Amino acid sequence: MALIRWQPWQELETLSRQLDHLFDDLTPVSRNASPAPHTWSPAIELKSTDTEFVLRAELPGIDARDLDIQVTRNAVAIAGEYRSETKQDDGKLFRSEFRYGNFRRVVPLPVAVRNDQVKAEFDAGILTLTLPKFVSDRPQVVKVNLPGVTTESAPEVAQDNPAAPVATAAPAATQTDDVWAEQAA
């Protein structure tokens, strides 16, 4: 029986080459070619407040007239086109990585919005959409008062179970201050 010597560095090189081939096959951009125009979509940022969403999209070098923005109650679709320049120069173009052509990005929203009250701004290549939330989808804080308890009374003992204290309501500002003071300590 012949012994085969283990060479870990050679195996690592083989693994590295196989991973390079795998990623070359998965990515649409090869090292020597320019990016495919249909693979690009704008980067977005979605912020939420109590009353609205603010969606920002990076669209450098595109004109507002080349944008198509559609808002439904549950999603925002941004489509547009990068137009190529039509002027001719005497110089030859060796390589261009500029993107030309159409793009489309659909952003799903976590809650329904009022799509008839959307505000849009487009400045310096940044599209900003303000999307108001439906009133029913806004977070609400409701103060619950227990029946038979006044805000000035001290904790009492329940009639049925002498060991169980009855919940009392203190002024809201005092409860909030106490909670913040406990967390800060």
**What pLDDT, on the 0 to 100 scale, is given for residue 159?**
47
**What pLDDT, on the 0 to 100 scale, is given for residue 149?**
76
Comparing 2-16, 20-34, 137-151, 152-166, which segment has the lowest mean pLDDT?
152-166
Tokens of 150: 């006044």
**3-state SS assignment for residue 8:** helix
Tell me which of 144 and 171 has the higher pLDDT.
144
**What pLDDT, on the 0 to 100 scale, is given for residue 55?**
95
Is the pLDDT at 69 greater than 90, yes or no? yes
Comparing 23-37, 90-104, 158-172, which segment has the lowest mean pLDDT?
158-172
**3-state SS assignment for residue 16:** helix
**What pLDDT, on the 0 to 100 scale, is given for residue 89?**
61
9-67 pLDDT, tens digit per residue, is 888 888 888 888 777 766 655 444 444 444 578 899 999 998 999 999 999 888 888 89
Note whether 46 and 105 are within 8 A (CB): no
Contacts of 28 (CB under 8 A, 6+ apart): 35, 36, 39
Alpha-carbon span 106 to 151, nearest angstrom: 51
Q: Can you give the three-state secondary structure of 38-84, one letter per residue?
A: HHCCCCEEEEECCCEEEEEEECCCCCHHHEEEEECCCEEEEEEEECC
The phi and psi torsions of 47 (rounded to 5 degrees) equal: -115, 150
Highest mean pLDDT among 84-88, 139-143, 144-148: 144-148
Please give the mean pLDDT across all residues of the chain.
74
**What pLDDT, on the 0 to 100 scale, is given for residue 98?**
74
Note whether 109 and 89 are within 8 A (CB): no
Tokens of 129: 């959409």
Alpha-carbon span 163 to 159, nearest angstrom: 10
